């Protein structure tokens, strides 16, 4: 994993890395999930292929999670012990920006409830769900920053684990704006 950029926000380091989220050794990773927690393609499919069928089996027991919500399973064979399944919006379904903010915020809240200190997150909804990448980067970075600034949390490291070069550039730009304003 290659570190692209990192900044401090309050008591936490926020880092962008180029790499495969299934290789993250944080307490938990965030999965860009659909409402039915069927992990067939994109980040979700990669997580289940690497972590094993137990992740899908636990997800099946959970069932439905509304858009903007988040659920937790174990990490199976992943380095991360847990997977937080954040249900981001599909572009075009309506109120997408607020739904994405909720998915990110609910992931951070659940990680805090579980007393996790580190979390890796992809660009939720920017892949097969078609959310515009620039807006996605702005919303996710701002939501993470706002959460860290205003919430008592156990999180001390949040990693944006990204592979798409355009998304990496956009997240780095947004972290740059946050750094200028701190």
Q: What's the pTM value of the predicted model, to 2 decimals?
A: 0.95
Per-residue pLDDT at 43: 86
Positive or negative, the CA dihedral 23, 46, 57, 96 is positive
Residue 163: φ, ψ to 5°: -120, -30
Rounded distance, CA 143 to CA 137, Å? 10
Considering only CA atoms, which of 71, 77, 82, 2 is closest in space to residue 35? 71
- Cα–Cα distance for residue pair 57/63, rounded to 1 Å: 10
Residue 21 Cα distances to 80, 82, 150, 159, 165, angstroms: 9, 12, 27, 9, 15
What integer pLDDT is reported at residue 182 of this predicted model? Answer: 65
The alpha helices in the chain, defined as continuous H runs, are 42-51, 53-62, 96-113, 133-150, 165-181
Going by the DSSP 8-state scheme, the letter that residue 21 receives in this structure is G
Given this model, what pLDDT does residue 128 score? Answer: 86
Residue pLDDT, tens place only, 101-145: 999 999 999 999 999 999 999 999 998 899 999 999 999 999 999
Contact criterion met (CB below 8 Å) for 82 and 117:
no
pLDDT, tens digit (0-9, with 9 covering 90-100), for 27-55:
999 999 999 999 988 889 999 999 999 99
Handedness of CA 73, 86, 32, 13 (dihedral sign): negative
């Amino acid at each position: 994993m290659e570190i692209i950029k990192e900044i401090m926000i309050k008591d936490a380091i926020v880092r962008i890395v180029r790499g495969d989220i299934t290789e993250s050794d944080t307490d938990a990773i965030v999965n860009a999930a659909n409402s039915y927690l069927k992990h067939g393609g994109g980040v979700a499919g990669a997580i289940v292929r690497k972590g094993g069928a137990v992740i899908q089996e636990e997800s099946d027991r959970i069932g439905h999670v509304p858009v903007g919500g988040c659920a937790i399973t174990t990490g199976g064979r992943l380095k991360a012990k847990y997977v937080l399944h954040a249900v981001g919006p599909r572009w075009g379904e309506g109120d997408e920006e607020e739904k994405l903010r909720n998915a990110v915020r609910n992931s951070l809240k659940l990680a805090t409830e579980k007393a996790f200190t580190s979390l890796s997150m992809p660009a939720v909804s920017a892949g097969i769900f078609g959310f515009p990448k620039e807006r996605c980067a702005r919303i996710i970075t701002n939501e993470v920053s706002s959460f860290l600034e205003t919430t008592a949390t156990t999180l001390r490291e949040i990693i944006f684990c990204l592979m798409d070069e355009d998304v990496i550039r956009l997240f780095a730009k947004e972290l740059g704006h946050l750094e200028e304003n701190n």
